[in-house]
Structure 1
């Protein structure tokens, strides 16, 4: 993706409040978030000529464009695989801007995931068309693997067996996230930190996952404005340079149930595909990243991501979290907004916003000397990630 390296930027970020009952439609949430992002950049809706969202969103680009009062769209894209597409939206937008397909692109995500259709509820193949997707889940649902937590629990148990990690190690991720959320007024769990004892005593969801290993269900919206770096420099807010962005799918990839890879294989090789692209594109490496926003819908996958991106050797993430390296003051503070465990679960989009704030120097939990921030998208599915940097 060398054609996008350091050529585009996130020029505006905007969000609704994060809640459990928004009291308004998902389209209204999307419009509010997009308008806030445009205002943050100082751009009129008339200047928007591109839009990107991702699957499982109920807000078509033409509805959002009409609601905002946009004039014409020359580029629109829908990225697949749910939360795995979060950073992919930025990739698609950056490619559109870098190639001239569009000049000003909105990326957005909005839903009533708690008050509307409960996202974490058990699924069924009943009523699904007899297609490849229903056939895939048809192998799992009859055996009780019916929720995202149950799918991840299988991989988490195997990771514990291979790496020696414990439930307490998973809990340290939750404790760090909630500690960071506790000082973030926009977080659902503002002023509500937890202890490792709280984590261990929370009820089982699907062993080895406790309740506090699982992200929230949230109502809310988040949006970004992507344009050229040259143009972003002349806008209202400090730009976050898109160093690079990438998507990846691994060998023998399944959706949340990649149980059939060999023992020697890594747990999230699709994230490894993304990591290799990002390091190659930018010439950066783990030591060049000052803070990271890891997709934390379930805590075990944070440890796996630390290993996939080379912050730890395979099996060593447990030591990394035990030593407090992921907390403020550590060598790699993560999820300084509280993550999806502590702030809100907007399928990774709110994590991208925190990456922008870290680059701007405006985070409520600002890390000193930030030059580059790694942000990842959903794990267990074909995924994406990006690196944001300062404009210097």
Structure 2
């Protein structure tokens, strides 16, 4: 693909991350979008496209009025909750490369701690799949995912303490990130093991992502237009979704081998084939982690280590800031905030710009993977 035919992320913005924002979700979205546009050196009048999640409560027209977007000719939403995080960039890139829009804002904002809490059982009734599982007590994400994780533990001989190895890294990265809710608050493996059980013997409290209030946004246009704007060029080298037969965003039980992650493996294959890159070419990885075991699955799916090797890979320091593939340098969803994974994409952009709080040297390619969707971002020439 010619450089001029690529999409680029030209602006990023966010609110503070909190547990009680004290303002509406629309205001959070508007603040994040305005910050992203200011970062790009653009205004609402330059925007003609929007992308968000199907679960986002903020109406596109209400947001347009709040930030001064005069006309919208592309509006789309991605499914699968956090699994669709990187798909938002795929939608925006498709719009600007095809000419269906010139400038697209991607936004995600919610009061997920002080308002509607995704982790609670009461709100889980909107999918037909729940009709099959609610009678068995599978009424919260921790329970649903734990059945999947338990197979991985059985096949590879892991314990919950092994999952804690990632939690410690995430909190260490968050501790030196001023944007993170857990800034200045690292943990030890002993802290992890002393946190209360959520689903015994699989997940403890410190294996689970946060519930956060906040908003994030980014601005996408073509690489050609991006060269005239104020920020260093960050290109979308490839973007894809990974959805396969017998998959399910919550009840992912029907693959022949549920100690693997076929959706992520599909995404890896497509990204690497599209770009000609491989695991060794990725300098930093932002891996969606609503729960710590998801990082183990994705490290293996994207070829950073072989199946069953993620535990030792993490223990040997490979995902640390000075490791072979630093992971979630901002602290991830466990350490920074849970804004449905879009804050991971903002961190990917910062790493490529060279402005991250925990900056890795000479970053040229960043993977931002969300299980069912993924992108590779590159540092433009």
Structure-2 residue corresponding to 1:334: 327
Scaled by the length of structure 1, what TM-score is found?
0.94
Rounded to whole Å, the distance in 1 between the matches of 2:2 and 2:253 is 35
Rounded to whole Å, the distance in 2 between the matches of 1:33 and 1:345 is 15
1:368 corresponds to 2:361: yes
Q: Is the 8 A contact 1:3 1:98 kept in 2?
A: no
Can you list the C-alpha shifts for 1:204-246, whole angstroms capped at 9, x where unaligned? Answer: 0012100000000000000000001111111111121111111
1:261 CA drift (Å):
2.0
Aligned CA distance change for structure 1 residues 120 and 4 (closer, same or farther; 3 Å): farther
Can you list the C-alpha shifts for 1:122-154, whole angstroms capped at 9, x where unaligned? Answer: 14666x6xxxx23x1122112111111111111
Structure 1 residue ranges (4+ consecutive) displaced by more than 2 angstroms after TM superposition: 2-6, 123-126
1:375 CA drift (Å):
0.4
Equivalent of 1:138, from 121, 131, 142? 131
Q: Is the 8 A contact 1:52 1:108 kept in 2?
A: yes
Q: Is the 8 A contact 1:8 1:228 kept in 2?
A: yes
Q: Is the 8 A contact 2:14 2:215 kept in 1?
A: yes
Aligned CA distance change for structure 1 residues 125 and 33 (closer, same or farther; 3 Å): closer
Rounded to whole Å, the distance in 2 between the matches of 1:5 and 1:388 is 15
Q: Is the 8 A contact 2:282 2:365 kept in 1?
A: yes
Equivalent of 1:355, from 345, 348, 365? 348
Rounded to whole Å, the distance in 1 between the matches of 2:376 and 2:280 is 13
1:260 CA drift (Å):
2.1
1:386 corresponds to 2:348: no
1:104 corresponds to 2:93: no
Structure-2 residue corresponding to 1:205: 198
- Note the 1:41-190 alignment, pairs <5 A: 41-123=40-122, 133-134=127-128, 136-190=129-183
Show structure 2 runs of 5+ residues with no match. Answer: none
1:30 corresponds to 2:23: no
1:320 corresponds to 2:313: yes
Structure-1 residue corresponding to 2:294: 301
1:5 CA drift (Å):
9.2
RMSD: 1.5
Aligned CA distance change for structure 1 residues 384 and 5 (closer, same or farther; 3 Å): farther
1:268 CA drift (Å):
1.4
Aligned CA distance change for structure 1 residues 54 and 262 (closer, same or farther; 3 Å): same
Rounded to whole Å, the distance in 2 between the matches of 1:61 and 1:3 is 32
Aligned CA distance change for structure 1 residues 5 and 219 (closer, same or farther; 3 Å): farther
Q: Is the 8 A contact 1:11 1:239 kept in 2?
A: yes
Secondary structure (helix, strand or coil) at the match of 2:348 reads helix
Can you list the C-alpha shifts for 1:310-340, whole angstroms capped at 9, x where unaligned? Answer: 1111111111011111111111110000100
1:250 CA drift (Å):
2.0
Q: Is the 8 A contact 1:26 1:110 kept in 2?
A: yes
1:21 corresponds to 2:20: yes
Q: Is the 8 A contact 1:88 1:247 kept in 2?
A: yes
Secondary structure (helix, strand or coil) at the match of 1:387 reads strand
Count of residue pairs brought into register by the alignment:
380
Which of 352-361 and 67-76 deviates more?
67-76
Scaled by the length of structure 2, what TM-score is found?
0.97
Aligned CA distance change for structure 1 residues 42 and 125 (closer, same or farther; 3 Å): closer
Q: Is the 8 A contact 1:155 1:267 kept in 2?
A: no
Secondary structure (helix, strand or coil) at the match of 1:140 reads helix
Q: Is the 8 A contact 2:124 2:139 kept in 1?
A: no
1:199 CA drift (Å):
0.5
